[in-house]
Chain A
Amino acid sequence: MKETVIKVDKLTKKFGDFIATNQISFEVEKGEIFGFLGANGAGKTTAMRMLCGLLMPSSGSASVAGFDVYKQTEHIKQSIGYMSQKFSLYEDLTVKENIRFYAGIYGMSRQVIKEKMTSLLEQLQMTAEENSLVKSLPLGWKQKLAFSVAILHEPKIVFLDEPTGGVDPVTRREFWNLIYEAAEKGITVFVTTHYMDEAEYCNRVSIMVDGKIEALDTPRNLKSAFNAGSMDEVFLQLARGAKRKAD
């Protein structure tokens, strides 16, 4: 029995006359890795922010983890994790202090934080670095740490906004291993990216063009539907029709 954790129906956000997201509808199931693709300015971030409770939708309906995005944002916030394109750690705090701070914000007890921190540091092989300032770590490590911190409180869903910007392919691969591990634990992953090789890693992919979802299926089905050899070609075929300029 599949469980739907994100349900979006005709969700729209207008900024004045500008329609950032135009009646988008989709559903995401528990444990799925859902790729949210689109060119810059297509409306990905706006859609994501509405789902996280950062922006109030103009019309349509959506529920995240069973909670309504209009009225129950406080409940949504308890059930999700978030990581943005610029990994969001405090550079002047140590690895340990960052973990402790974010865990504390989610109301985790001291004892639980301690246990989780030990296993997390072991998993990332960063135990030796626990007292180093985050600014002294390489970018790839920071991103992996930021992701681990974002799912430390075991959210139902984790939203990743272009999490792998600016890192090399090897580190990106490692990052995706972390994502798979999280998905195996039952955490739903909602990820935006514009690396098309990453799109291949997702269970299902939606492609947004000019505020609308133009395609939504598994990468394999999309490739055959568009008669393309790779997701890159699929994306280019769709994105060429875009009228909006990237911001």
Chain B
Amino acid sequence: MKQFSIFVKKEFRHIFRDRKSLLIIILMPIVQIILFGFALTNEIKNSNIAVLDNAKDESSSAIIRRLDASRYFNVLQVLNTQADIEAAFRTGKIRLAVVFQPGFRESLLHTNHAQVQLIADASDPNTATTVTNYASNIISDYQKEMNGQSPVPYAIRPEIRMLYNPQLKGAYNFVPGVMAMILILIAAMMTSVAIVREKEINTMEVLLVSPLKPLLFILSKAIPYIFLSLVNVVTILIVSVTLLEVPINGSLFLLMGESLLFIITAVSLGLMISTLTKTQQEAQMFSLMALLLPTLLLGGFMFPIESMPLPLRIISNIVPSKWFFLIVKDVMIKGLGFSAVWKESLVLLGMSLFLLAISFKKFKTRLA
């Protein structure tokens, strides 16, 4: 036990003496959350638009007012002729043009049918789709209100409710994602680097010749990073609750427990990497390629897994972040209990045990 505490103390010394790395470890989650939250958001706000109102009636002006009032749009130009539209797009200042046909309100009232033309700059297709969706929603909102005043029989009106995230905030998706990413980076990469470092600076040989037990060595290496990772979880949660207004709907206790489970999985991955690599650089590269990349691509928070081809969908199952991402979304955003995430938790537990068994075995054989 004394050996253990001495070893853990030494590990913390290494970490605290390397101020630069420590600062990165502590600040990285905050910077990432802020980056994803404010800079890299997939919400598109304040798009400049142009309107060509050939109707100039009550309805068309009402819609234009609503568009301008929403946080998504800003009516930059009022056009007069069809030819102005193309010119307006050419300046590159507008993303969308809204065109009302003459007699818009008339035909809406009498035939229950009127057309608005939405013309988007599709040189960036994702943005184009998103802004036209925003505009369609605003227009159909207006229509619904009109219908409310004079109900139209037999009209099918789909009513859409966005569950768990009514404002469609991107943060609800990326907070769990950033958590998975940071924990993989800190817990797995740092642990593997810390172990491989001992090989590189030759202290490993001395430790292997000493009476120190391998299990003790592995545990002492892992504990400081488990601790730091938990600190990171807390920072991420604080930043996302206060700054991004993403609530913790489920049990905080369960969320922390699941995070600890994922950290243990990540640390086991780190141990495994440390048995496969010889230099710190190798360990870093390996962690980035084998852990960060799959986390980003197959973790589910950047690209939806459901729309991937079958082979990728199968591969995504061995990416631990995918399971953790599901767990955090269920617990934190949807507020579900353990009964909803026990399967995912079991997968993570199984992965950890498997990885630990392998790395411990590998570690031991190098001793013999």
Contact = CB atoms under 8 A, between A and B. Distances in A.
Nearest to B211: A77
B368 A105 contact: no
Report which residue of A55, A83, A107 has the largest number of chain B beta carbons within 10 angstroms of its beta carbon: A107
B209 A92 contact: no
Interface in B207-226: 207-212
Interface stretch (B124-132, B170-178, B197-205): B197-205
Contacts of A82: 205-206, 209-210
Contacts of B3: 104-105, 107
Interface stretch (B12-20, B69-77, B262-270, B276-284): B12-20
Interface in A75-96: 77-78, 80, 82-84, 86, 88-93
A165 to B, nearest CB: 12
Nearest to A92: B17
Contacts of B202: 84, 86, 88
18 contacts: A52-B209, A53-B209, A54-B205, A54-B209, A54-B367, A56-B368, A74-B211, A82-B206, A84-B205, A88-B202, A90-B203, A91-B201, A92-B18, A93-B13, A100-B6, A104-B3, A104-B6, A106-B211
Contacts of A107: 2-3, 211
A88 B203 contact: yes
B201 A77 contact: no
Nearest to B5: A104
Given A88-B203, A90-B201, A101 B209 contact: no
A86 B368 CA distance: 22
A217 interface: no
Contacts of B208: 54
B89 interface: no
Nearest to A83: B206
A71 B18 CA distance: 41
B211 A88 contact: no
A106 B210 contact: yes
Contacts of B211: 74, 77-78, 105-107
A92 B14 contact: yes
Lowest 4 CB-CB distances: which A-B pairs, in order?
A104-B6, A82-B209, A88-B206, A86-B202
Contacts of B210: 77, 82, 102, 105-106
B10 interface: yes
Interface of B: 2-3, 6-7, 10, 13-14, 17-18, 201-203, 205-212, 367-368
Interface in A96-130: 97, 100-102, 104-107
A70 B328 CA distance: 50
B205 A93 contact: no
The B interface, classified by DSSP as helix, strand, loop or mixed, is helix
Report which residue of B2, B10, B205, B209 has the largest number of chain A beta carbons within 10 angstroms of its beta carbon: B209
A105 B7 contact: yes
A117 to B, nearest CB: 14
Given A88-B205, A90-B201, A105 B14 contact: no
Given A88-B203, A150-B206, 4 more contacts: A88-B206, A90-B201, A101-B7, A102-B206
Nearest to A77: B211
A90 B6 CA distance: 14
B33 to A, nearest CB: 30
Nearest to B210: A105
B252 to A, nearest CB: 36
A97 B367 contact: no
Contacts of B18: 92
Given A83-B206, A88-B203, A107-B2, A93 B368 contact: no
Contacts of A93: 10, 13-14, 17
Report which residue of A78, A88, A89, A93 has the largest number of chain B beta carbons within 10 angstroms of its beta carbon: A88
Contacts of B212: 105
Nearest to A75: B211
A92 B13 CA distance: 9
Contacts of B206: 82-84, 88, 102, 150
Contact of A97 (B10, B201, B203, B205): B10
Contacts of B368: 55-56
Report which residue of A84, A91, A93, A105 has the largest number of chain B beta carbons within 10 angstroms of its beta carbon: A105
Contacts of A80: 209
